[in-house]
Amino acid sequence: MDDEDLVECSKNIIIEMAKKKEVVEEPLEKKLWKAADKLRKNIDAAEYKHVVLGLIFLKYISVSFEELYARLQSEMDEGADPEDREEYKAENVFYVPADARWAYLVSKAKDPKIGKYIDDAMDAIEKDNSILKGVLPKVFARQNLDPTSLGELIDLIGNSTLAQASTNSADLLGHVFEYFLGEFALAEGKKGGQFYTPRCVVELLVSMLEPYKGRVLDPCCGSGGMFVQSEKFVKEHQGRIDDISIYGQESNQTTWRLCKMNLAIRGIDASQVKWNNEGSFLNDAHQDLKVDYIIANPPFNVSDWGGDQLRKDARWKYGTPPTGSANFAWIQHFIYHLAPSGQAGFVLAKGALTSKTSGEGDIRKALIEAGLIDCIVNLPAKLFLNTQIPAALWFISRNRTNGSFRNRSKEVLFIDARNLGYLINRRTRELTPDDIAQISDTYHNWRNVDGKYEDVPGFCASVPIERVAELDYVLTPGRYVGLPDEEDDFNFEERFAELKAEFAEQLKEEQRLNTLILENLAKIKMEK
């Protein structure tokens, strides 16, 4: 082999090595997750997430604080004071006391009492920032948390990789926080699904609704994914974040804390995200609020929602929901909070499309005849972490006759997306960006005045309400687009719950009739 051949061969080897490196190179957030997970040891994921997410949040507010601190130091000749808390409040930046700053904690990372230092830091930050009161985790001094591992975790989150990243540090930490929320949800399985809606589902809801401007409500907001995605959407479309105001409610206090941190790390005003343990039905935190958008993923088929106490509630304009399932209570709760031209997009168990249990069929009929239901999207199986129950997206609009879109009050769009998405593991599926674009573009082309919509057999169909009435007001997309209901759509858990509720109603009726018979028999005098 001559010199030229040797040089050429070396070039090829280098190119191949570079390609291989490119293939195996992982995003920063994945590297961080793997490293952080190794440090978890014997701690349960549900507990560990508060440790990791708490530190990421602490790092975030320190980065934002330090950037403004450095600027104020350079302006001291002009009267600026880097220790004046009001300076930070004016810039919407959290003030971080000296003993809570990241550099100080890093200096104590190898100290056996590092857990106490961090807990004290969280307390100090809450005292100086009233909006964070009761939000930050104080779990770092627990005995099951190894101080050495905790110190290593601090080094990991604060290492030079973050500082060297081309992305803005604050934005990067927000992205890492969001990624970790999803990974912890996966690690927790069913329990994780209670605080986290899969990102692809949130992206689809937001992409279809397009919340550019106005008030956004999520009355079962979990860790705040709907709000974060709405903010992202506005940014990506060159809108102004200030044009959106958010309102939320969460009944789980731990999840509410995660939500407040998730929004704070994104710079989103979370002052109207409320917590009470009664929940949105029994204690509506935004009772008189009317909003432009509702984006939500309420818990499926909840039976203990307080329906017995709310039989005559003003929200049940389209029929009183059954006490054994909250599905149609949620729908009417959403409608109640919509402004005259408001729109809602939300997830429900697929059974709500067909159920006739305890008057649900009558409520669904009333909603359809009122011209409120805009679009139904049948989702693929295995999208949700906490349930295998098939799900669908509902889109409701209070005003389908005029405004920004065409008059579509006499029709409903059905989209069957069961065949979209891909499996990321044996139990979990995701929608791709192309899937999301295909579904949302179909909806927009149908809805918009200048849209170019066409029915696609097996995927989408625009259906007159008269046709829906002919099929007994059933809203299963497969019936209208030409796809048969598949056997795997049958869910034993869901069907069993329906049958159980029906059986309970029948037992009540039997008891009533037996009592009536006994009362009538008692009135009869036996002849001797």
Helix (H) or strand (E) holding 414: strand 411-416
pLDDT the model gives residue 243? 85
Is 249 in contact with 285 (CB distance < 8 Å)?
A: yes
3-state secondary structure of 395: strand
pLDDT the model gives residue 21? 46
Q: In the 3-class helix/strand/coil scheme, how is 196-249 assigned residue by residue?
A: CCCHHHHHHHHHHHCCCCEEEEECCCCCCHHHHHHHHHHHHCCCCHHHEEEEEE
**pLDDT tens digit sequence for 40-50:** 887 888 889 99
Compute and round to an integer the Cα radius of gyration of the chain. 27
Compute CA distances 306 → 189, 217, 282, 283, 490, whole Å: 27, 21, 7, 10, 28
Confidence at 6, pLDDT banded by 50, 70, 90: low
Is 193 in contact with 386 (CB distance < 8 Å)?
A: yes
Residue owning tokens 């990067």 = 172
Confidence at 25, pLDDT banded by 50, 70, 90: low
Measured CA to CA, the distance from residue 357 to residue 353 in angstroms comes to 12
| Averaged pLDDT score across all residues of the chain | 87
The pLDDT > 90 percentage for the chain reads: 59
pLDDT the model gives residue 165? 44
Q: Which CATH superfamily is domain 192-489 in?
A: Vaccinia Virus protein VP39 (3.40.50.150)
Check pLDDT > 70 for residue 163. Answer: no
Check pLDDT > 60 for residue 282. Answer: yes
Measured CA to CA, the distance from residue 407 to residue 399 in angstroms comes to 9
pLDDT the model gives residue 14? 57
For residue 195, give both structure tokens: 């605080």
Q: Which CATH superfamily is domain 28-188 in?
A: N6 adenine-specific DNA methyltransferase, N-terminal domain (1.20.1260.30)
**pLDDT tens digit sequence for 119-147:** 999 999 999 999 999 999 999 998 888 89
**pLDDT tens digit sequence for 309-351:** 999 999 999 999 999 999 999 999 999 999 999 999 999 999 9
Measured CA to CA, the distance from residue 99 to residue 123 in angstroms comes to 11
